[in-house]
Structure formats: C-alpha cells, structure tokens
Amino acid sequence: MKISFLGAHNTESRNTKLVSLLVDGILALDAGGLTSSLSFSEQLKLRAVLLTHQHYDHIKDIPLLGMNLFLNNAGIDVYSIPSVYESLTNYLLNDSLYPKFLEEMEGGATIRFHIVKPYQEFKIGGYNILPLPVAHSVSAVGYQVTSAEGKSVFYAGDTGVGLADCWRRISPRLIIIEVTSSNRYMQFGRQKGHLTPSLLKEELLDFHKLKAYLPDVVIVHMNPGLESEIEAELSAIAGELGNSITLAYEGMEIEL
Ligand SMILES: [Zn+2]
Ligand SMILES: [Zn+2]
C-alpha cells in the first residue's frame, strides 16, 4: 500500500497544502489539496474520495474535481457522513456557487455520493473501509483502510481527545492523525476538538494500554507557523514512548 501525502497542513500557501492523502493512486482521503496536486490524468484515475467532515479545508477541492471530471465525461464515488452531504449540496454544489454535480445531469451524476455509517465496514475495490467517529467540533469520522494484503492504516482526520472507543476497534500498522497546534494552545485544542503534542501523547498511551503495541504515527494538519514548535515537542514524546512520530510534508510517500 503506497500512501502519498498531497497536503499536510491546515492552511494553504505556495509551500503548504490542505490535508489530502492518496492511497495507491486511486483512493483519496479528504480533499483539501487534491486538484492542485494531481494532473488531469491522475484525477481521472481516482476511484473514490473519502471525506472525514464538512470543514472547508477538507472538502475544498470537491467542486473543482467535479468540474474536471464533468468536462472529461467521467465521474467519481465520494463517501462521507450526512452532514458532509448537506454542506456540499446546500453551500457549494447548489447551482449558485457551482453546478449541482451531485445531482443527475446529462449522462448521470458526476459525483456519486454514498452515505457511510459509523462502525459499518464497506468495500471499495479490494479495500475494506471502516468509518469510526472521532471527537471534533462537528460530526466527523476517521477511516481505517485495509488493503487486500491485509495492510491497514487509520486516518483520523481532525480530532480532539477521546479516541479510546476508536482504538478498541482498529489494529493499524500506521496512524495518520492531526496535531494542529503546539502545547501552549492546549486550551484551544480542547475547546475546538484538535490535538497538541501532549494531548496526542495521552491518546497514544490509551492506545498502548488497550492494544499492547504502538503503531508508527504520521502527523498532518499542522499550523505552518507552529510547525517547528510542534516538531520539537513531538520528538520528545516519541523518545518517551519509543515509537516513530513524524511530521508529514507535501510530496512525502510511505510504503506500508
Ligand atoms: Zn475540522
Ligand atoms: Zn481541518
């Protein structure tokens, strides 16, 4: 399983893109940095997009992807929870801001939206997908993606503390999770449903208690202005926990 980090941050600039991951070139997780990272032919190879929640930095490229596919007489399957469907249809793809790519147009809907139910595993091609609720300021799910060879990654999306129920249900080789701010913003993290290095540490200690191992961890959704602080704080924690915790960057690839 090859995981490409197309976007790894929570703000966009020439040097940073919003969170988007790509599994084996065909399965996208979140759509903050999809269209600006992929050529047209790579976009046409996408089989599905899994969205974690409705916040703009995670759904931004869905309208743009819709237009690119529409102009190529192509379509795509997008999976998420009902609140994401509502946000896309009410605010973005409503024929006012942009075309209704989720509705039947000539030749069928460009974006075929599928509602996922937390805890109910489903298949996309050879992959098993398990959506699990995470603790954010709006309804949100993380996804465990398991390949046909049995390799698993869990992508949490945006989340705050309180992942024990999630941990009980998964056994991934790799966790991709957010750390938005450094420890001095812990109060913000607790209020808004985000993680800091020390909040992540508590979650990882819970994971170890429940599962008796710790997977490698890759961090996304960093505030670029706090990245060096986050990195220093995380490296101390990785030393204490004895596992690998690395910050993702745009263009990074991992072979599981
Ligand atoms: Zn969010
Ligand atoms: Zn976000």
What burial letters (b/e) apply to 134-152, b meaning 16+ CB within 10 Å? bbbeebbbbbbbbbeeeeb
CA 93 to CA 109: how far, in whole Å?
A: 12
By mean pLDDT, which of 72-81, 99-108, 195-204, 240-249 is the weakest?
99-108
Q: Smallest Cα–Cα separation from 141: which of 37, 30, 28?
A: 30
Q: Which residue has the tokens 């993680």?
A: 195
Question: For the residues 224-253, what does the mean pLDDT come to?
Answer: 97
- Cα 5 from chain centroid (whole Å): 10
What is the DSSP secondary structure assignment for residue 248, as one 8-state letter? -
Whether the predicted pLDDT of 108 surpasses 90: no
pLDDT band at 105 (very low <50, low <70, confident <90, very high): confident
**CATH value at residue 165:** 3.60.15.10
Ion ligand 2: protein residues whose beta carbon lies under 5 Å: 55, 57, 158
Cα 60 to middle of ligand 2, angstroms: 11
Evaluate if pTM is beyond 0.85.
yes
Strand 27-29 to 20-23 pairing: antiparallel
Cα 46 to middle of ligand 2, angstroms: 22
42-65 tens-digit pLDDT: 999 999 999 999 999 999 999 999
Range of the domain at 17: 2-255
Cα 105 to middle of ligand 1, angstroms: 30
- Count: domains in the chain: 1
Q: Which residues pair with 217 in a beta bridge?
A: 175, 245
pLDDT of residue 104: 79
